Amino acid sequence: MARSHALAQRIPGRYSGQHSVCGWLYRARSDGGQVCGPSQGQVHFPSRASLREHSELRSDNLQVPQLTASSGEDYVNEGATIPEGTMTWSSLTFPAKKIGRIQWATAEILDDSALDLRNIIGQNLIRDASLRFDKDAFTGALTDPIKGIIAQGVTTTLTAGNTVVKYDDLADSVARIEALNGAPSVVWASTDMAAALRKEKASGSGTYQGGSPTDSPASTAWGLPVLTSGHLPAKTVIVADASRLIVGIRRNATLKISEDARFDSDQIGFKLTMRVAGVSIAESASVQIVKAAVS
Protein backbone atom coordinates (compact mmCIF):
# COMPACT_ATOMS: atom_id res chain seq x y z
CA MET A 1 0.00 0.00 0.00
CA ALA A 2 2.93 2.36 0.53
CA ARG A 3 3.36 2.71 -3.23
CA SER A 4 -0.14 4.15 -3.62
CA HIS A 5 0.29 6.87 -1.01
CA ALA A 6 1.32 9.38 -3.66
CA LEU A 7 -2.25 9.30 -4.90
CA ALA A 8 -3.39 11.04 -1.75
CA GLN A 9 -1.40 14.15 -2.62
CA ARG A 10 -3.83 16.49 -4.30
CA ILE A 11 -2.29 18.81 -6.87
CA PRO A 12 -5.14 20.63 -8.64
CA GLY A 13 -4.85 22.48 -11.92
CA ARG A 14 -1.88 20.66 -13.39
CA TYR A 15 -0.94 17.63 -15.39
CA SER A 16 2.00 15.41 -14.57
CA GLY A 17 4.23 14.44 -17.48
CA GLN A 18 6.63 12.09 -15.80
CA HIS A 19 9.82 10.64 -17.19
CA SER A 20 8.39 7.23 -16.40
CA VAL A 21 5.05 5.60 -16.14
CA CYS A 22 3.65 5.96 -12.64
CA GLY A 23 6.07 5.19 -9.85
CA TRP A 24 3.55 3.25 -7.80
CA LEU A 25 2.68 1.26 -10.91
CA TYR A 26 6.03 0.62 -12.54
CA ARG A 27 8.79 2.06 -10.32
CA ALA A 28 10.86 2.68 -13.45
CA ARG A 29 12.72 5.78 -12.31
CA SER A 30 16.04 5.29 -10.63
CA ASP A 31 15.31 8.22 -8.29
CA GLY A 32 12.07 6.66 -7.11
CA GLY A 33 9.92 9.47 -8.56
CA GLN A 34 6.17 9.00 -8.58
CA VAL A 35 3.77 10.26 -11.16
CA CYS A 36 1.45 11.97 -8.70
CA GLY A 37 4.05 13.80 -6.67
CA PRO A 38 5.85 17.05 -7.53
CA SER A 39 8.76 16.59 -9.90
CA GLN A 40 10.66 18.18 -12.73
CA GLY A 41 8.53 16.23 -15.21
CA GLN A 42 5.26 17.96 -14.41
CA VAL A 43 3.52 19.95 -17.12
CA HIS A 44 1.63 22.77 -15.38
CA PHE A 45 -1.79 23.82 -16.64
CA PRO A 46 -3.47 27.15 -15.88
CA SER A 47 -5.28 27.33 -12.56
CA ARG A 48 -9.09 27.39 -12.52
CA ALA A 49 -9.00 31.13 -11.77
CA SER A 50 -6.77 31.68 -14.78
CA LEU A 51 -9.13 29.64 -16.95
CA ARG A 52 -12.04 31.81 -15.88
CA GLU A 53 -10.09 34.93 -16.87
CA HIS A 54 -9.13 33.43 -20.25
CA SER A 55 -12.09 31.38 -21.37
CA GLU A 56 -10.43 30.53 -24.66
CA LEU A 57 -7.91 28.40 -22.73
CA ARG A 58 -10.55 26.23 -21.07
CA SER A 59 -9.89 22.61 -21.96
CA ASP A 60 -10.02 19.13 -20.50
CA ASN A 61 -7.14 18.06 -22.72
CA LEU A 62 -3.44 18.06 -22.05
CA GLN A 63 -1.48 19.00 -25.15
CA VAL A 64 2.25 18.38 -25.30
CA PRO A 65 4.29 19.71 -28.25
CA GLN A 66 5.98 17.09 -30.41
CA LEU A 67 8.78 17.74 -32.90
CA THR A 68 8.06 15.67 -36.01
CA ALA A 69 10.76 16.88 -38.41
CA SER A 70 13.85 19.09 -38.43
CA SER A 71 16.21 20.29 -41.15
CA GLY A 72 19.20 19.50 -38.97
CA GLU A 73 22.50 21.39 -38.79
CA ASP A 74 25.37 21.93 -41.20
CA TYR A 75 28.85 23.48 -41.30
CA VAL A 76 29.21 27.23 -41.86
CA ASN A 77 32.24 28.94 -43.34
CA GLU A 78 33.95 31.75 -41.50
CA GLY A 79 32.10 35.04 -42.02
CA ALA A 80 29.23 33.35 -43.84
CA THR A 81 25.59 33.86 -42.87
CA ILE A 82 24.26 31.17 -40.59
CA PRO A 83 21.26 29.64 -42.37
CA GLU A 84 17.86 29.39 -40.78
CA GLY A 85 16.60 25.96 -39.82
CA THR A 86 13.10 24.57 -40.04
CA MET A 87 11.21 22.55 -37.46
CA THR A 88 7.82 20.94 -37.92
CA TRP A 89 5.71 20.65 -34.79
CA SER A 90 2.57 18.77 -33.91
CA SER A 91 1.12 17.93 -30.53
CA LEU A 92 0.14 14.98 -28.39
CA THR A 93 -3.36 15.33 -26.95
CA PHE A 94 -4.48 13.62 -23.76
CA PRO A 95 -8.24 13.76 -23.05
CA ALA A 96 -8.90 13.59 -19.32
CA LYS A 97 -10.88 10.54 -18.15
CA LYS A 98 -12.33 9.97 -14.71
CA ILE A 99 -11.87 6.85 -12.62
CA GLY A 100 -14.35 6.65 -9.75
CA ARG A 101 -15.94 4.35 -7.22
CA ILE A 102 -18.24 4.65 -4.18
CA GLN A 103 -18.23 2.17 -1.31
CA TRP A 104 -20.87 2.12 1.44
CA ALA A 105 -20.47 0.80 4.98
CA THR A 106 -22.91 0.78 7.88
CA ALA A 107 -22.07 2.68 11.03
CA GLU A 108 -22.25 -0.59 12.98
CA ILE A 109 -19.58 -2.27 10.84
CA LEU A 110 -17.28 0.72 11.22
CA ASP A 111 -17.90 0.97 14.98
CA ASP A 112 -17.49 -2.74 15.73
CA SER A 113 -14.49 -3.53 13.55
CA ALA A 114 -11.31 -4.40 15.44
CA LEU A 115 -9.35 -2.79 12.60
CA ASP A 116 -9.34 0.76 11.24
CA LEU A 117 -11.93 -0.06 8.61
CA ARG A 118 -12.25 3.51 7.37
CA ASN A 119 -8.59 3.56 6.45
CA ILE A 120 -8.76 0.06 4.94
CA ILE A 121 -11.69 1.02 2.70
CA GLY A 122 -9.93 4.19 1.58
CA GLN A 123 -6.65 2.44 0.84
CA ASN A 124 -8.38 -0.30 -1.14
CA LEU A 125 -10.25 2.27 -3.24
CA ILE A 126 -6.91 3.94 -4.01
CA ARG A 127 -5.34 0.58 -4.80
CA ASP A 128 -8.15 -0.39 -7.18
CA ALA A 129 -7.85 2.93 -9.02
CA SER A 130 -4.11 2.56 -9.42
CA LEU A 131 -4.45 -1.03 -10.66
CA ARG A 132 -7.02 0.02 -13.25
CA PHE A 133 -4.75 2.73 -14.60
CA ASP A 134 -1.79 0.34 -14.43
CA LYS A 135 -3.58 -2.20 -16.62
CA ASP A 136 -4.77 0.34 -19.19
CA ALA A 137 -1.38 2.08 -19.33
CA PHE A 138 0.09 -1.21 -20.54
CA THR A 139 -2.64 -2.81 -22.63
CA GLY A 140 -5.14 -0.09 -23.59
CA ALA A 141 -5.96 -0.11 -27.31
CA LEU A 142 -5.58 2.98 -29.48
CA THR A 143 -9.37 3.38 -29.39
CA ASP A 144 -9.64 3.02 -25.59
CA PRO A 145 -9.93 5.98 -23.19
CA ILE A 146 -6.35 5.31 -22.06
CA LYS A 147 -3.93 4.28 -24.80
CA GLY A 148 -1.44 1.68 -23.63
CA ILE A 149 2.25 1.64 -24.45
CA ILE A 150 2.02 -1.80 -26.11
CA ALA A 151 -0.29 -0.37 -28.78
CA GLN A 152 2.05 2.57 -29.34
CA GLY A 153 5.45 0.85 -29.32
CA VAL A 154 7.26 -1.37 -31.83
CA THR A 155 6.52 -5.09 -31.53
CA THR A 156 8.90 -7.89 -32.52
CA THR A 157 7.47 -11.41 -32.55
CA LEU A 158 10.01 -14.21 -32.25
CA THR A 159 10.08 -16.93 -34.87
CA ALA A 160 8.48 -20.34 -34.35
CA GLY A 161 10.20 -22.48 -31.75
CA ASN A 162 11.33 -19.49 -29.65
CA THR A 163 8.67 -19.86 -27.00
CA VAL A 164 10.41 -17.73 -24.34
CA VAL A 165 12.13 -14.36 -24.42
CA LYS A 166 15.86 -14.63 -23.64
CA TYR A 167 18.60 -12.23 -22.61
CA ASP A 168 19.84 -12.13 -26.21
CA ASP A 169 16.43 -10.86 -27.33
CA LEU A 170 16.61 -8.11 -24.74
CA ALA A 171 20.09 -7.17 -26.01
CA ASP A 172 18.61 -6.73 -29.50
CA SER A 173 15.88 -4.46 -28.12
CA VAL A 174 18.41 -2.40 -26.19
CA ALA A 175 20.45 -1.94 -29.37
CA ARG A 176 17.38 -0.83 -31.35
CA ILE A 177 16.69 1.92 -28.84
CA GLU A 178 20.35 2.95 -28.68
CA ALA A 179 20.40 3.23 -32.49
CA LEU A 180 18.04 6.22 -32.07
CA ASN A 181 20.33 7.81 -29.46
CA GLY A 182 17.94 6.56 -26.80
CA ALA A 183 18.85 5.44 -23.32
CA PRO A 184 17.09 2.18 -22.36
CA SER A 185 16.23 2.31 -18.67
CA VAL A 186 13.70 -0.38 -17.76
CA VAL A 187 12.47 -3.88 -18.64
CA TRP A 188 8.88 -4.95 -17.91
CA ALA A 189 8.12 -8.67 -18.13
CA SER A 190 4.95 -10.70 -17.95
CA THR A 191 4.86 -13.20 -15.12
CA ASP A 192 5.77 -16.19 -17.29
CA MET A 193 8.63 -14.41 -19.08
CA ALA A 194 10.07 -13.04 -15.83
CA ALA A 195 10.24 -16.61 -14.58
CA ALA A 196 11.77 -17.79 -17.87
CA LEU A 197 14.53 -15.17 -17.65
CA ARG A 198 15.37 -16.24 -14.11
CA LYS A 199 15.54 -19.89 -15.19
CA GLU A 200 17.56 -19.33 -18.36
CA LYS A 201 20.77 -21.39 -18.35
CA ALA A 202 24.02 -20.96 -20.21
CA SER A 203 24.28 -23.05 -23.36
CA GLY A 204 25.83 -26.44 -22.68
CA SER A 205 25.80 -26.10 -18.90
CA GLY A 206 23.46 -26.03 -15.95
CA THR A 207 24.60 -22.58 -14.84
CA TYR A 208 21.82 -20.05 -14.46
CA GLN A 209 22.40 -16.85 -16.43
CA GLY A 210 20.76 -14.75 -13.74
CA GLY A 211 22.81 -16.11 -10.87
CA SER A 212 22.52 -18.91 -8.37
CA PRO A 213 18.95 -19.86 -7.35
CA THR A 214 20.05 -19.70 -3.71
CA ASP A 215 20.77 -15.99 -4.11
CA SER A 216 18.28 -13.17 -4.62
CA PRO A 217 16.19 -13.51 -7.81
CA ALA A 218 17.81 -11.91 -10.84
CA SER A 219 16.55 -8.34 -10.95
CA THR A 220 18.51 -6.85 -13.86
CA ALA A 221 19.16 -7.58 -17.53
CA TRP A 222 21.98 -5.77 -19.33
CA GLY A 223 22.09 -3.35 -16.42
CA LEU A 224 18.38 -2.53 -16.60
CA PRO A 225 15.88 -3.29 -13.80
CA VAL A 226 13.52 -6.14 -14.65
CA LEU A 227 10.04 -5.46 -13.27
CA THR A 228 7.31 -8.11 -13.31
CA SER A 229 3.72 -7.11 -14.09
CA GLY A 230 0.66 -9.31 -14.02
CA HIS A 231 -1.03 -6.83 -16.37
CA LEU A 232 1.20 -7.69 -19.32
CA PRO A 233 -0.07 -10.35 -21.73
CA ALA A 234 1.64 -13.73 -21.50
CA LYS A 235 4.91 -14.18 -23.39
CA THR A 236 5.58 -10.43 -23.45
CA VAL A 237 8.63 -8.38 -22.45
CA ILE A 238 9.03 -4.62 -22.91
CA VAL A 239 12.31 -2.71 -23.07
CA ALA A 240 11.84 1.04 -22.86
CA ASP A 241 13.56 4.38 -22.64
CA ALA A 242 11.37 5.64 -19.79
CA SER A 243 12.47 9.24 -20.36
CA ARG A 244 10.43 9.19 -23.58
CA LEU A 245 7.17 8.21 -21.85
CA ILE A 246 4.66 10.82 -20.75
CA VAL A 247 1.91 10.12 -18.23
CA GLY A 248 -0.89 12.65 -17.86
CA ILE A 249 -2.63 13.08 -14.51
CA ARG A 250 -5.33 15.78 -14.58
CA ARG A 251 -6.23 15.39 -10.92
CA ASN A 252 -4.72 13.10 -8.33
CA ALA A 253 -6.92 10.65 -6.47
CA THR A 254 -9.26 12.34 -4.00
CA LEU A 255 -11.09 10.43 -1.27
CA LYS A 256 -14.21 12.01 0.24
CA ILE A 257 -16.51 10.70 2.97
CA SER A 258 -20.23 11.43 3.32
CA GLU A 259 -22.46 10.67 6.30
CA ASP A 260 -25.47 12.51 4.81
CA ALA A 261 -26.39 10.73 1.57
CA ARG A 262 -27.84 7.69 3.38
CA PHE A 263 -28.56 9.41 6.66
CA ASP A 264 -31.83 7.54 7.18
CA SER A 265 -30.11 4.13 7.04
CA ASP A 266 -27.02 5.18 9.00
CA GLN A 267 -24.57 4.37 6.21
CA ILE A 268 -21.30 6.11 5.43
CA GLY A 269 -20.13 6.57 1.86
CA PHE A 270 -16.52 6.60 0.66
CA LYS A 271 -15.98 8.15 -2.79
CA LEU A 272 -12.72 7.90 -4.71
CA THR A 273 -12.20 9.84 -7.95
CA MET A 274 -9.18 10.68 -10.04
CA ARG A 275 -8.79 12.06 -13.56
CA VAL A 276 -6.10 10.58 -15.74
CA ALA A 277 -5.04 11.89 -19.12
CA GLY A 278 -3.31 8.97 -20.72
CA VAL A 279 0.10 7.65 -21.61
CA SER A 280 2.05 8.52 -24.73
CA ILE A 281 5.43 7.81 -26.28
CA ALA A 282 7.59 10.48 -27.88
CA GLU A 283 8.79 8.01 -30.53
CA SER A 284 7.31 4.56 -31.04
CA ALA A 285 10.77 2.97 -31.27
CA SER A 286 11.55 4.11 -27.70
CA VAL A 287 9.38 1.22 -26.51
CA GLN A 288 10.38 -2.20 -27.83
CA ILE A 289 7.92 -5.04 -27.23
CA VAL A 290 9.20 -8.59 -27.63
CA LYS A 291 6.65 -11.40 -27.88
CA ALA A 292 7.67 -15.04 -27.72
CA ALA A 293 6.26 -17.50 -30.23
CA VAL A 294 3.22 -19.53 -29.20
CA SER A 295 4.94 -22.77 -30.25
For residue 217, the model assigns a pLDDT of: 67
Q: Which residues of 206-244 are buried (b: 16+ CB within 10 A; e: fewer)?
A: eeebbeeeeeeebeebeebbbbbbebbeebbbbbbbbbb
What DSSP letter does each residue of 56-106 carry, written as one string? GG--SEEEEEEEEEE-------TTPPPPPP-EEEEEEEEE-EEEEEEEEEE
pLDDT confidence of residue 173: 96
Residue 213 CB contacts under 8 Å (≥ 6 apart), including other chains: none
| Chain segment 82-116, per-residue pLDDT in tens | 988 888 888 777 788 899 999 999 999 999 999 89
Judged on CB neighbours under 10 Å (0-12, 13-18, 19+), 249 is buried
Please state the rounded mean pLDDT for residues 232-242.
94
Is-contact 192 234, C-beta < 8 A? yes
State which amino acid sits at residue 244: R
- Which of 145, 119, 149, 133 lies closest to 273 in space, CA to CA? 133
Q: What is the pLDDT of residues 34-79, one digit of tens each?
A: 333 333 334 434 444 444 443 333 567 777 777 778 887 889 999 9
Q: What are 291's strand-pairing partners?
A: 157, 236
Which pLDDT tens digit goes with each residue over 192-209? 999 999 888 887 777 888
Mean pLDDT of 143-153: 88
> pTM value?
0.72
